[in-house]
Structure 1
Amino acid sequence: MTHTYDALWTWLRTGAWIEGATRLLLAVGIVVAAAIVARLVVRLLRRLRDRSRIGRPLIYIVEKLAGYALVIIGVFIGLSTLGINLTSLAVFAGAVGVGVGLGLQGVVREFVSGLVAIFDPFVNVGDFIELENGIRGEVTEVGPRATRIKTNDGLNVILPNSKLIETQVVNWTLKDGTRRIHVPFSVAYGVDKVRVRDVVLDAARAVAFTLPDTDSRKTQVWLTGFGDSSLNFELVVWPTVDAVRRPSAMHAAYTWAIEDALRGAAIEIPFPQLDLRVRSLFGREEDAGLRALGLQRGEPHVPATPAPGHPSPNDAADALIADAEEAARLKKAAEGA
């Protein structure tokens, strides 16, 4: 015990502790400085990514790798400053690695999956995806453990990175491409199919986010089947990429436009009911039979046209148009900056 006290006293008296404390403070300072620099670099690259419309996935990869690399380099330099021989840690690191691999294999798995997701060309930050459980949203961040997906309802879904690369994912906006959507609707038996087609096509093309027809992408109306009391149709249409990012609102907007068009053309939309049809009443048919019963055929409904400067009653379409205008404004501001 006396020998230990003598050695400690000698160490304090010679001032060796000052050099050790200085190295420790310097090492801590290097690690802290590396972390600060990494954070600043990440913020700078994030601003560049937000303003850029091209190469955003590549910028995101550089952002993540730069953040990790700067912190790791700072830690190694800090250890070297303390006089620790990093090569002597190889055996120790191997032993510790086995324990970490067994105890933290889930964490390591998610971290590696995150690196794979960052370099994966099929799912990038900014893409609108749909998971197997039906959740749809925009990929906003790929972290070391999980990926954050923001839905159109403002919900943040935290998805383990391994799920992103191991399960089926539908990418609605891969390579900024649009997609064809199908909007089903029904009309009563006996209507003119060609008239239904023309009315619905005109309504769909009048929607602001419908893309113009090309040789490979055309707005069409298909007769898909025969229901119990209806002819079943589908509107097949190609919307803009901005509209694709909000599929529920897009579907609602087209449904509203179809109902307005059919009602305005006095085309009957069937619903479950039991109809008793009398084809002749005392030798009178159709309008003459209605007049004999004291009834008259109703006038066709014409949808109200919104006044100039006022929004239309189609809220879903207005929301999509407003989003597209805001995106165009931000893009113009970024290009100007």
Structure 2
Amino acid sequence: MLPTLAELDDARLIQFGGVSLTFGGLVSAAVLLGGAVALSWVVTRSIRRFRMRAERSAQALYLLEKLAGYAIVFAGAVMALSAAGLNLSSLAVFAGAIGIGVGLGLQGVVKEFVSGLFLIFDRMVSVGDYVELDGARGAIAEIGPRATRIRTNDNINIIVPNSHLIEGRVTNWTLKGDTRRIHIPFSVAYGADRSQVRDAVLAAARASPFTLPETETRKSQVWLTTFGESSLDFELLVWPTPEAVKRPAAMHAAYTWAIADALDEAGIEVPFPQTDLRIRSLFGREGDEAIAAMLGQHLAKQADTGTPSSRPSQPSQNDAAAELLKPPEAPPERDRE
């Protein structure tokens, strides 16, 4: 005859060290552990949804989400072991042996897990920060128990072990939601009015919607940095918005385009490589007479072909600026879950 459910429940499947594991105890342990995992998933998902809608307390909610998930699973595991009939106090020696094995065999996993906890509590690197690590730049999308996921502006996910963010050198461009000053180099031809260059470029930078209002400590500036071979080299120093900082390539391109438009509107020449050519003889003529003859032929050719000597500047469309003004995309559904 087949054993009844009560007999299965009382049957001792495994016995060691005075501890007996029964079928009913194992079923109860499995139910408790499964319930703890399900509860952890529901709680963390609810907190994550609330965090996606929050603005000021997002970091605190992320910390609560991780701690709640770990705590529920750990509590469920302890309850499952007790329901299975294991006396946790009597397993101290066994747990010590397990701990030694974990320390030796799973040293790397434990190291990354502890590093992840340090990242969550330390908050020098938080979810949403724009960081640069080993030449890779992107926003931190998730800090997991083993690795941190960084998503670039090209939607490429980079998986970095947690310990690398603690032991290595990390550049955080938006620590605690702050901004940074950027340098945009540009050049003008020799002979340009430096004051006119400064005024035109500063006006363009201040008119940009992704430039922060100036304060006593954060002002837009134009520096003359070097005397180039064929140009005066300047730098625009500006404080962009934190949203623009997270898109450095588009931000740099947008300011460069705005500077080019400002210089064109002010009639300031952008330099190009120049070579001095001394004409000694042309068709029997020398010096200034030879140059005048050459220019006369060039102008006559333009008159015959109807080609204008210069083209009027046309209003330009700054695609990089439009990219910066777009609202940030919502994270994919898998990132919100």
- Short-chain TM bin: 0.7 to 0.9
* Paired amino acid for 1:323: P
Q: Does 1:294 align with 2:296?
A: no
1:322 to 326, 330, 336: 326
String of CA shifts for 1:169-209, please: whole Å, max 9, x gaps: 11111121111110001111111111111111122122221
**In the alignment, which residue of structure 2 is the partner of 1:118?**
120
1:63 to 62, 65, 69: 65
Measured after TM superposition, the shift of residue 289 of structure 1 is: 9.8
**In the alignment, which residue of structure 1 is the partner of 2:23?**
21
Compute the TM-score of the two structures, normalised by the length of structure 2: 0.83
How far apart, CA to CA, are the structure 1 residues paired with 2:318 and 2:255?
9
The SS at the match of 2:225 is: strand
Please list every run of 5 or more consecutive structure 1 residues that lacks an aligned counterpart in the other structure: 1-8, 306-312, 328-337
What is the root-mean-square deviation of aligned Cα atoms in Å?
2.6
Compute the TM-score of the two structures, normalised by the length of structure 1: 0.83
Please list every run of 5 or more consecutive structure 2 residues that lacks an aligned counterpart in the other structure: 11-21, 280-286, 303-307, 331-337
User: How many percent of aligned residue pairs carry the same amino acid?
Assistant: 55
Measured after TM superposition, the shift of residue 15 of structure 1 is: 4.7
The SS at the match of 1:147 is: strand
String of CA shifts for 1:30-85, please: whole Å, max 9, x gaps: 11011000000000110111110012111111101110110111111111111110
Moved more, 154-163 or 216-225: 216-225
**In the alignment, which residue of structure 2 is the partner of 1:184?**
185
Cα distance change on mapping 1:13 and 1:212 into 2, 3 Å: closer
Measured after TM superposition, the shift of residue 299 of structure 1 is: 4.7
1:265–1:300 CA contact under 8 A, matched in 2: no
2:288 to 268, 281, 300: 281
Measured after TM superposition, the shift of residue 250 of structure 1 is: 0.2
How far apart, CA to CA, are the structure 2 residues paired with 1:126 and 1:214?
26
Q: Does 1:266 align with 2:267?
A: yes
How far apart, CA to CA, are the structure 2 residues paired with 1:14 and 1:314?
76
**In the alignment, which residue of structure 2 is the partner of 1:304?**
315
Cα distance change on mapping 1:141 and 1:14 into 2, 3 Å: closer
**In the alignment, which residue of structure 1 is the partner of 2:208?**
207
String of CA shifts for 1:250-273, please: whole Å, max 9, x gaps: 000001111122223332222334
Moved more, 290-299 or 139-148: 290-299
**In the alignment, which residue of structure 1 is the partner of 2:245?**
244
**In the alignment, which residue of structure 2 is the partner of 1:5?**
none
1:114–1:144 CA contact under 8 A, matched in 2: yes
How far apart, CA to CA, are the structure 1 residues paired with 2:256 and 2:191?
22
